[in-house]
Structure formats: structure tokens, C-alpha cells
Amino acid sequence: MTYKKPANPQQPKGRGAVSTPDSRYNERQRESFDDGWFEDSEQLERQHRTQVTFEYPKTVISHNQSPDVPFDQSVNAYRGCEHGCIYCFARPSHAYMDLSPGLDFETQLIAKNNAADVLKKQLLAKNYRCQPIALGTNTDPYQPIERQYHITRDILLVLQALNHPCTITTKSALIERDLDIITAMAAKNLIQVNISITTLDPVLCRKLEPRASSPKRRLQTISTLRQANIPTYLLLAPLIPVLTDPEMESILQAASQAGAQSADYILLRLPQEVADLFIEWLNHHYPDKAQHVMNQVRDTRQGKNNDSRFEHRNAGQGVMADMIGQRFKLATQKYQLNATRDQLDTELFHPHPTQRDLF
């Protein structure tokens, strides 16, 4: 039997990363070498199918001390994310498990199967003090495998039973599945939702965020949430110089028309392995723009690929960063996306529900 050589054997179908670089903690590093042989496309696809394993952590609440983010504690139901967003700043965390921040991050997923039960125990602890919990700060709580494992839904049920406030950040229309819980929590001022949109271009989106909901579908989700009186905001993240920043005003206008109440943005961050993965992706998909994109990125990051300093990570520095900030400010005013967010209610939290409340 003969096989037709794929047009590009290095790009797995439906995935974001182009390669599988080693974990930075490995004692030995591998380097790809083309020996003239190739794998058929079906075999390559089988190698990169999504695989899910389970872990059973003793705690699930992560605490944050960064002044750059508006939350103090968060919960992540999954490690890794099937959405495959090439720019994801969480990719380097896979190296802690001796997995690659590249294709492993989006194919070798870990589900915290007992997350809801552990969260309930932590919230019922005598020394616990209520403050909003953020869902979706590291990996998306509504990534595709949530359809099967519903860990995020179970977490929401615990929070609802305890009247505990939370925020959700996602780029998935799957959140609409849980409208029953979210609507009830919103009626008590216990929840806010951030819908992340990076581009309105479906072709670019499929390359940039291969398994996330389409831009059109995310706008529809904003409308659906707002029709249910759920506080819903736009998160324009990341804003990528040259590649997506020309769309800023169009994205803000579309989100405003869909019903979003306010908006925030985060300039592209490229920590650790993400820089090499993103540059590789650029050279693969947009070789004619790659150098221009990275030059502009470095102009906003003091000549480097990334600037990890607090109070500089999200907005960057320099002429380009200042210009983006001014454009964003003017556009949010024009499209009325600068409303002040209400504080979520922490007074309703009751740590000793009846048994019936928890089911």
C-alpha cells in the first residue's frame, strides 16, 4: 500500500501547537530531525487524540497575590486545555508534570474528578472567609471535555448551595448548558461572566484557538446570558499586535451590540515556553507577518518577548502599548463598555447548609 505524503506532516489537524517540545525539567532535550520518512495523516491524528487522566487533589482553591488580577482565589477543574490556544500563558504549567507545553498541553489533559467534593470541604472549614472564587483563570472551565465530565457544573452546584459568589471566564458556548444554575445565582448577585474574544475572523480563530467556540457563537452567548439578566463582560484577550489589534474597535462594537456591559483587555504575554511555541506557530501560519508581529511585541515588552513584572504584564509599555491603551479607552467610551462592575455579595454565604441543600 502506498501513502500520499501530507501537505504538512508537522501540523496535527485541529490542534494549536505545531510541535511537542520537551519539558524544561527533562534532563535530556530532544531535537526534531527530518530523515526523509513521514507518517500518514491518519496515524499522526491518532497520536494526538485527546487523552484524559484523573487526579484527586486534597485542595483545589489557589490563592493569588498578584496586583494584576481582580481576584484573590480561584479553582481550576482541569490541567491542560483542549481549546489549544497557541498563546495560552498556562502552557508552561504542563512542564511540572513532565509533559510538553506544546501538543501535550492540549491533548494530555488531567481532570480533577473530586474537585467539587474537595471544594465543599474547604468552604465548610471553620477558618474559611468568604470572597469570590474565580473559575477559568488558568484553563477554560468549559473546554470540550466538560461535556463529558461536568466537573465545572458540579463546582457551581456547590457554590450555589452555599450562596458563594464566583466569576467565570470562558471562550465556550458550553456555558449556556448551566444557565439554570447561573441565572439563579445572578438573581442573588453571586456571579459574573467574562466571555473572551480574540478575533472576529473565523479563519484566524480556527488557527489561533482551534477547538474554542467560533467568534459568532461567543457573541451569541453574550446575548443569551444578558437576556437571562446575567452580568456579562467582554475580555479582549490576548490582544496581539499586528495580528488582531486592528480588530479592537470592531470586536468592542460587536460585543456592545451583543449586550456586553463592559470590557477589559490583556496584551499578548509570552512567558517561558509560550514564546517559542508562538513564534513557531507564526512562522508556520503567517510567515510574512511573523517578524513584524514579534517586533511589535518586543516594542511593548522592553525589547524582550515577555515582561513578567507586576503592573506591566497586562498592558505593556512603550509607544505601541500606550497607543493601544488610548484606542481601547476611546472605543469603550464610544460603545458604552466602561460601566463599573458591581461587587458580588459575600454576605449571603452560609457555611452550614442542610443536607438537602447540597443535592
- More confident call, 332 vs 94: 332
227 exposure class (CB count in 10 Å sphere: 0-12, 13-18, 19+): exposed
4 pLDDT tier (thresholds 50, 70, 90): very low
Identify whether the C-beta of residue 155 lies closer than 8 Å to the C-beta of residue 135. Answer: yes
> Is there a domain that residue 11 lies in?
no
Q: Is the pLDDT of residue 352 over 80?
A: no
Residue 154 within a domain: yes
Tell me, what's the pLDDT at 44? 47
Residue 36 has pLDDT above 90, yes or no: no
* Residue of higher predicted confidence among 272 and 349: 349
* pLDDT tens digits along 65-84: 665 566 689 999 999 999 99
306 in a structural domain = no
Q: Please indicate, yes or no, if residue 356 is contained in any of the structural domains.
A: no
pLDDT per residue over 254-296, tens digit each? 999 999 999 999 999 999 889 999 999 999 999 999 999 999 9
* DSSP alpha helix (H) spans, 241-343: 248-258, 273-285, 290-299, 319-334
Is 327:315 a contact under the CB 8 Å cutoff? Answer: no
Q: What pLDDT shows up at residue 309?
A: 75
Residue count (the chain) = 359
CA–CA dist 136, 78 (Å, integer): 9
Domain count along the chain: 1
- Percentage of the chain beyond pLDDT 70 is 83
- CA 259, CA 254: separation in Å to the nearest integer? 9
109: left (phi over 0), alpha (psi -120 to 50) or beta: beta
pLDDT number for residue 312:
66
When pLDDT is averaged across residues 81-102 and rounded to a whole number, the result is 92
List the beta bridge partners of residue 333. Answer: none
The CATH number linked to 137 is 3.20.20.70
Task: Establish if 274 belongs to a structural domain.
Answer: no
> Is 8 a domain residue?
no
Quickly tell me which residue has 501537505 as its cell. Answer: 7
What pLDDT is recorded for position 272? 87
DSSP state of 351: S
Q: What angle do CA 29, 35, 41 make, to 5 degrees?
A: 90
Specify if 124 maps to a domain: yes
In a 13 Å sphere around the CA of 203, the CA atoms on its Cβ side amount to 3
pLDDT at 24: 54
Cβ 122 vs Cβ 60: under 8 Å: yes
Average pLDDT over residues 4-21: 58
Read off the pLDDT band of 311 (50, 70, 90).
Answer: low
- Tell me whether residue 90 is in a domain: yes
- pTM for this one? 0.86
Residue 79 domain boundaries: 49-261
The string of DSSP letters for 21-36 reads: PPPTT-SS-------S
Residue 42 has pLDDT above 90, yes or no: no
**pLDDT over 90 at 134, yes or no:** yes
Write the pLDDT tens digit of every residue in 229-259.
999 999 999 999 999 999 999 999 999 999 9
- 337 or 40, greater pLDDT: 337
* % of the chain residues with pLDDT over 90: 72
Sign of CA dihedral 31, 35, 41, 44: negative
- What is 211-226 written as a DSSP string? TSPPHHHHHHHHHHHH
- Specify the pLDDT at position 207: 97
Work out the average pLDDT over 306-335: 88
CA angle 172, 43, 48 (to 5 degrees): 30
Dig out the grid coordinates for 207 from the structure.
488557527
Q: Are 246 and 200 in contact (CB under 8 A)?
A: no
- 97 pLDDT exceeds 80? yes
**pLDDT above 50 for 349:** yes
Average pLDDT, the chain: 88
List residues bridging with 263 in a β-sheet: 234
Q: Please, what's the b/e burial string for 97-110 (b: 16 or more CB within 10 A of its CB; e: otherwise)?
A: eebbbbbbbbbbbb
